[in-house]
A and B are shown apart, each in its own frame.
Chain A
């Protein structure tokens, strides 16, 4: 694509990242490099370790070995909230929202975390215009202005996936980690989510875990392929399509069965 001229600015890099669950190596010596402003897809079969890798980037899981650098700063040991403050936010593969709260409250909580004062226990909460503004801004970006006062539990699955992205955006992250944002959505909802993700390009750096290869090829600037915890390839969409190891390990069947829409098993229904 268009990375040839200027040298890319690396926002996030991991070195020798390794995570074991008992005997299982879920992340195996990963060296990932993510460039500023790109949509970087992370693909791989079920159980390849994509969610586990994201969890280490977001701080939920501590790696056994290796380092994570974000904007040149070592964040390997930074707790989750510290990373959000540093500019990293994530969405969950299985929707995890405040189901009994309204859309507005869900978004406002993200804004409150960012604007601080959560230890200000005696301060009055009269002036909440900052929360209101931030919540509205995020709601508008993900197209939820019309359901602001609805309880999240009553929203459709597609709407909840949009909010899942919205609460992450309301944190004003520079790096967004999206774990299968289209999981369990119907074609129309996926389409909308795809458009949403495209609108992030340039404003945020995005790591996108996604099973739907059509979506990945359409949205991604670059792709990394994870198989059994190992990063076996990183490159542009065309690089990955042609990469012999990737074809062998992963895309092989699809190249033969020409033009099938969803080459990967398990692309549907997770978290539905």
Chain B
């Protein structure tokens, strides 16, 4: 197939940036979206033009490094990561618009590459169980009902890609933050620090400049890992019960 690509180009963090149009030809339906961009970049490189920069690494839908806002949707038309999106989802002759994630807390570094270190800082605020290496009980001394373990697992599969933020008109990071809070609130290992964790992670999320949640559900609809919006409800419960009984006032 032949395609027209309308791609956001921005030299660096301070550049204003803008769209540029490119043509790619001979795209096969079996290519992944990123392989299609590889083809474009080889073409640009052969002409001595600066390739389009985008983040990616595993290309298996698990590292969370790839992003891209494709035709107005994070990770494109399917509920999957951009690296797992294949060109069979597009038609010959189509024009595809490609932009970076847009959110105040995710500044653009170059072209389609953004800085998501705010997510790391939210985890640093409390997304862990405070155990040191060694001196822990035997693994089977902590039995966990399968149902609970499975639910915790569902929350734990978040890949930290940021599509939820990109999808949200308020650029809220509630889905991401609530996934971690839920995982640990469900598991017995997470009980000891449960309240403190919810408070600190929510505070950090706010400090990073992410917006509030107005329950539009766009995050859940676009999350490539199917993280459920019910995690946000759980986070809110955790947070309010924590503030009510807070020792850190």
Does A pair with B? Answer: no
